[in-house]
Amino acid sequence: MVITRKAEFSASHVCRVDSLSDKENRELFGEEAHPNGHGHNYILEVSVEGEIDPVTGMVMNLSDLREILDQEVVQPMDHRFLNKEVPPFDRTIPTVENIAIEIWKLISPSLSKPPAKLHAVRVYETPDLYVDYFGDAR
């Protein structure tokens, strides 16, 4: 069974490649490249998979999952300028793709063994744009 918990955080970012000109960055990233940054209300959906415990009827205690998301993702990223305040985004472009990979790295150590293993990280950057990450750079 796969069970999913949602969390939200607001953060700002700039998407640009330093070695490219302003014009090239604008062509590549559009408004995302504006040097002063802009914000998004990110929505995170984290799915864990496991077998249902016959005694509790649960895959895992979902308040434990909320605590992991809060400590590893929401507290460090909420109301931050990702490029300046949240490593590795001082050197990795904080596209929604890279944000999903980073969140996977942050939470997977806490969700690496039974009863519940990390299955997917979904990050919405806008209501109509999201990425799914399943680990191993896929």
Give the interface with Zn ion as residue ranges (CB under 5 A).
32
Q: Which is nearer to Zn ion, 14 or 116 (CB)?
A: 14
Q: How far apart are CA 111 and CA 20, in angstroms?
A: 38
Q: How far apart are CA 64 and CA 61, in angstroms?
A: 5
Q: Taking the complex as a whole, how short is the minimal distance between the CB of residue 80 and Zn ion, in angstroms?
A: 14
Q: How far apart are CA 68 and CA 65, in angstroms?
A: 5
- Provide the H-helix boundaries in 32-137: 62-69, 75-77, 82-85, 96-107
Length of the chain: 138
Q: Which is nearer to Zn ion, 32 or 72 (CB)?
A: 32
The reply to whether omega before 87 is within 30° of 0 (cis) is: no
Q: Which is nearer to Zn ion, 59 or 101 (CB)?
A: 101
Q: Which residue is nearest to Zn ion (CB)?
A: 32
Q: Which is nearer to Zn ion, 12 or 108 (CB)?
A: 12
Q: Taking the complex as a whole, how short is the minimal distance between the CB of residue 82 and Zn ion, in angstroms?
A: 10
Q: Taking the complex as a whole, how short is the minimal distance between the CB of residue 40 and Zn ion, in angstroms?
A: 5
Q: Taking the complex as a whole, how short is the minimal distance between the CB of residue 84 and Zn ion, in angstroms?
A: 15
